[in-house]
Structure 1
């Protein structure tokens, strides 16, 4: 691939807009840092994402709020049912083509084959005709309209459901979703309280919204991220997933197509972090790209903490973070303000320690900041809870 010529100013400007979108979504939808990061990375890399979760936990809300962050980007959203007709997804049948040329064609303007981003809620409830049409458009970006294949501008399709696909014939379509996220109900009482009392957050200014040029520029820039140092760790991971020793050999299948998409996804993550090269610490971001069944997610996450995929610096930082999370969990259950105050002081000291490590390890700062962002979210919740007592 010939590197695309990109000015430093253009790159920083595009990254800044994505960062603003990420910040806005994290303000609106609590405890969804990972999902938001993954959604943005899928958009940058031209991949698709699926959200699994119980009804009423904000899957559709998150994606809908994300769609509000676009400006000149065309998008389409639809709640799917078993009775949803192809014409409701790809456009009404052209009466003129049927009458004059005896051809079944669709007027696709404004529908799935004509947009950059799409959201299909309850996707697995769709009938087979719709699902089959999705296969080609998601992979090849083509839609068979009459006797011609039209090129679709689709960048990312987001699906959501409270169930996994039940029919084995849907395996190929399920594989098109590079990122699969199991969305959980809010865990922290402080998040629940904040959700109940939240006021409306202003939309982004028009100049901060993502345009189609922003998406195209981000994709080109991310494609230039150097993948050299990730090849060996991914080759090892591929082997580890196949051997009985790690207990995932009969549970996880990653197609060659999926591995290639994983690399693009990681390039997008690195681009969002502001770095030009992947390293082995990026492997941990693949947790939601490898599972087929959410029951296996924890085992995959554990495998990705193997020393072959984590540097000593990130490992030590992650250990401190895990200890801090345990303190936050204890703090969330405290009703005594004095005792909570003592624990809050400990958390503040831990926060200072983590920030110091970021400052002292600039070569790994992009990874440490991602972990730190998750800690800060929990810290803010405890801070609000303490002050409200």
Structure 2
């Protein structure tokens, strides 16, 4: 939906990376000149149709296109070549573009089948939603002091990319990815061969960022953001990927989803209008959430899983505190936080 900071998030990320940055808000009236540059009048005098690309998308290292699916087909077809081949056709010849990453944001999905090829080029997808719980909302509206942002340079990024290319992908990871593809096929979720091929670079990047020169099955967890096309597929892909990679984390995610349903059902505005109903709902929700918190506390796993499990328990305990405060009028220190911190 609109107003979920999609543009702000991508813009902030892009501005942390050095190099030439290009940003544009697309509409159905956007012309190719706005993105790719005006046609050179001097070149026209010499019977050449050449665009002046200075400060435009073909010369950008990092680009962000907001409301990308509102653009015309001529613009989107040109983008397809830029994203896929890293080339821009100008005056009949293909010029290499220095593009590292292109980010897109939209409040809608492409409806035309002819846009599927471009949609598939966006490897990582993330759906933003309005903040669900009050604690997150309060954190969002509180004023914060501006801090110096962390940045990186193009040269540093290129060095990291070289490190990613050197990461080894062993046979067990390839077998796990093949198995994952089969599992998703059974759910009628079909990703393109290109998407699976490109996803290996993300797996290698995960290993590199975790200080390893060899990928492991745990690195496949990033694919929960890669292998779905429609939002309706997202939960299935997430569950399938995490359950295969790390059943402990999968169970923690399942418990957190149940806790979220319990919390939102209990804090329904219609229930909260009636103090008696609110009190009953609060007591029932507190009992259920406490059991889920205890279940998370009892879960054992590898150190890599402990952080995720502790984060899930802290989230559930946050729900408990809000139930006590909103529905039962009890304000107490958050339970479980000290214990989970010690476990970490």
Q: Determine if contact 1:75/1:118 at 8 Å carries over to the other structure.
A: yes
Task: Give matches, 1:72-91, under 5 Å.
Answer: 72-91=18-37
Say which of 242, 248, 265 aligns to 1:316.
248
Instruction: Render the CA deviation track for 1:173-211: whole Å, top value 9, x for unaligned.
Output: 01101112221111111111221223243231xxx4111
Counterpart check, 1:227 vs 2:169: yes
Shift of 1:303: 2.4
Task: Give matches, 1:1-389, under 5 Å.
Answer: 54-70=1-17, 72-99=18-45, 101-204=46-149, 208-228=150-170, 229-242=172-185, 246-248=186-188, 252-306=189-243, 309-310=244-245, 314-320=246-252, 322-323=254-255, 361=302, 365=304, 368-369=306-307
In 2 relative to 1, CA 254–217 (structure 1 residues): closer, same or farther, beyond 3 Å? same
Shift of 1:323: 3.6
SS in structure 2 of the partner of residue 96 of structure 1: helix
In 2 relative to 1, CA 269–106 (structure 1 residues): closer, same or farther, beyond 3 Å? same
In 2 relative to 1, CA 325–291 (structure 1 residues): closer, same or farther, beyond 3 Å? closer
Q: Determine if contact 1:91/1:111 at 8 Å carries over to the other structure.
A: yes
SS in structure 2 of the partner of residue 180 of structure 1: coil
Shift of 1:342: 11
Q: Determine if contact 1:321/1:375 at 8 Å carries over to the other structure.
A: no
Larger Rg: 2
Instruction: Render the CA deviation track for 1:4-30: whole Å, top value 9, x for unaligned.
Output: xxxxxxxxxxxxxxxxxxxxxxxxxxx
In 2 relative to 1, CA 297–104 (structure 1 residues): closer, same or farther, beyond 3 Å? same
In 2 relative to 1, CA 270–198 (structure 1 residues): closer, same or farther, beyond 3 Å? farther
- What do you get for the CA RMSD once the two structures are aligned? 3.4
- Whole-angstrom distance in 2 between the partners of 1:231 and 1:292: 22
Q: Which structure ranks higher in relative contact order (CA pairs < 8 Å, sequence separation ≥ 6)? A: 1
Shift of 1:240: 2.7
- Runs of at least 5 residues in structure 2 that lack an aligned partner in the other structure: 268-277, 326-330, 335-344
Q: Determine if contact 2:14/2:21 at 8 Å carries over to the other structure.
A: yes
Q: Determine if contact 2:242/2:250 at 8 Å carries over to the other structure.
A: no
- Whole-angstrom distance in 1 between the partners of 2:293 and 2:146: 27
Q: Determine if contact 2:297/2:313 at 8 Å carries over to the other structure.
A: no
